[in-house]
Structures are given as structure tokens and as C-alpha cells.
Amino acid sequence: MPDPQPDREQLQPFQALPGNMAPRDSQDLMAFPFFSLAKSRRTLPIDFRTASVTIRVEGTREHGMATIWDADVLIWAASQIVQARDEGLHPSRLMHATPYEILRFIGRGVSLRDYQRLKAALDRLQSTTVATSIRETTGRRLHRFSWINEWKELADARGTPLGIELILPDWFFAGVLDAALVLTIDPAYFRLSGGIERWLYRLVRKHGGRQRGGWQFDFRHLHRKSGSTARFSDFAFDLRGLVARQSLPGYRLAVVRIGPGAERLAFWPVPPTARG
């Protein structure tokens, strides 16, 4: 295994910025299946292919695949990178932060148990491997990486905790630095509790945008694009439940029946003045 030290020596450490900032998400991560939607451990790979896109995601037996809740750490990182860039600072793939800063930003508690869950999330992000053709010019070559190259807890000589340090992969960092590949998301996203619910919000935010006419996707297309291991009938049942609850912040959902046994999910943005 290659020594990661040369990579570290070439990177200038970036200290996480304080204060509130808008959550930002990578459009590539919003549009394609990169994470497990289940809270139980998943080791079955995600294997998604179209004419122009290849994605394969694998988790380990020890940790399982990174989940869509673990991806909150990447949303925090993307938000930090964009904010630093907008302020004329120089963000880096080598980031220093405290668990408190990350947990508060993503709407979690700050107890010992929450800290332990954050460490487990970092382990899954580091051990999950991704191979994708997205952003590869020919569409044939694959870029391979983990969501976090490495991470460690920091402490002084007396053992006093000084936070954590993590190194992001170049594929993710380069995509976030490209302003065209990042979207602001509603902070209420972090309060969404279901895996399909969270995945659907990100997909809707990516494709629905601010178009008045909205967008539609066939249920079976959504099932395939989610990477979910749920049976199609169960997945469709969950989609109908989300339509009934109308829980996606900033968007309205509807089911459009287009024939016997065929349904589409329609969605469109709700004007801020019309939200409850």
C-alpha cells in the first residue's frame, strides 16, 4: 500500500471556518447512487451503469458501505470549501476541525455517543471504495478513490483532544471547487430521517431546481437510480408514502399514473411565500 505521507506533505492544512454557513452539496453525489440508503450494514456493492456513466461502490465486511447519513460529513466539507473560496481563502483537501463543529453543522447531538457515531461514519467513508467514469473525458476510464483518504484524532503531548484531521480525495475536492457542480440545500435536509427520503430530496433538488413546471421520473427509473436493495414494490410504497407526507423541504410531490401498473413521480418547487 502506498505511503500517504508524501500526499500529506504537499497539502497545506485548512482550519475549519467558524460560524453558520449555507449547506452545499455536490451535484454529482446528488444525481447518482453513491451511498447505502439503509441504516443496517450493507456489503452488497452498488453497480450502476448507463451509456455514459459507470459507478461501482464497495464497502468492507468490517464497516459496511458509507450511508447517506455518513454523507453529511461530505456536505459539511463541501460547505467549508465553498465558503473559504468565496471569502478569498485557500481551502485544502487536508482539513482540521473539531467533532463539535461537524456535529452541530449537520444537526446532530454532541454527546459521547454522537461522537462515537461520527467516528464510525468516518471509518465507513474511509473504507468505502468508489470507481466512476463521471468527469472522465472519454467516459471509459475509471477514477478510483475513497470518500476520505485518511483521518485521525489529534491530541497534544498531554493527551488533550485537539480535534480531528481528514484528507479528502481529489475527485471530490475538484468537483466542489467547480462552482457549477455545487448546489445550496435546505438546512432542513439534515432533519430528514429516512434513507429514501434523503436520497429523493437530493435528487429532486438537483433536477427540480427552480423550474416552475417541475420534473417527472418513472418509478422504475427512480428505483434503479437509487441503488436501493429494497424490492421495487416496497420502494414504490415508500415513494407513495413520501408523497402523502409531503416532507421534502421546498418541494411538492405528486404521483402521476400513466398506465396499468405504471407511475411517475412529479415534483416542483414551492415558492417560499407558500410554505407552511
What is the tens place of the pLDDT at every residue in 150-208? 999 998 888 788 899 999 999 999 999 998 899 999 999 999 999 999 999 999 999 87
Query: Has residue 62 got a pLDDT over 90?
Result: yes
> What is the residue type of 242?
L
C-alpha 46/C-alpha 249 separation (Å) is 27
Give yes or no for residue 92 having a pLDDT over 50: yes
Mean pLDDT of the chain: 91
Instruction: Please choose, from the candidates 103, 94, 98, 111, the residue with its C-alpha nearest in 3D space to the C-alpha of residue 69.
Output: 103
Q: Inform me whether the pLDDT recorded for 2 exceeds 50.
A: no
Task: For 194-236, give the secondary structure using H, E and C.
Answer: CHHHHHHHHHHHHHHCCCCCCEEEEHHHHHHHHCCCCCHHHHH
Q: What is the pLDDT of residues 238-272, one digit of tens each?
A: 999 999 999 999 999 999 998 787 899 999 988 76
Average pLDDT over residues 209-222: 80
Contact at 8 Å (CB) between 222 and 67?
no
Question: Residue 156: left if φ>0, alpha if ψ -120 to 50, beta else—which one?
Answer: beta
Share of the chain above pLDDT 90, in %: 79
Q: Which of 4-8, 89-93, 121-125, 141-145 has the lowest mean pLDDT?
A: 4-8
Closest CA to 121 of 32, 39, 5: 39
The domain locations on the chain are 5-184, 191-274
Q: Give domain 191-274's CATH number out of 2.60.40, 3.30.70, 1.10.3470, 1.10.10.
A: 1.10.10
pTM: 0.92
Taking only the tens place, the pLDDT of each residue in 119-137 is 999 999 999 999 999 988 7
State yes or no: pLDDT of 104 exceeds 90.
yes
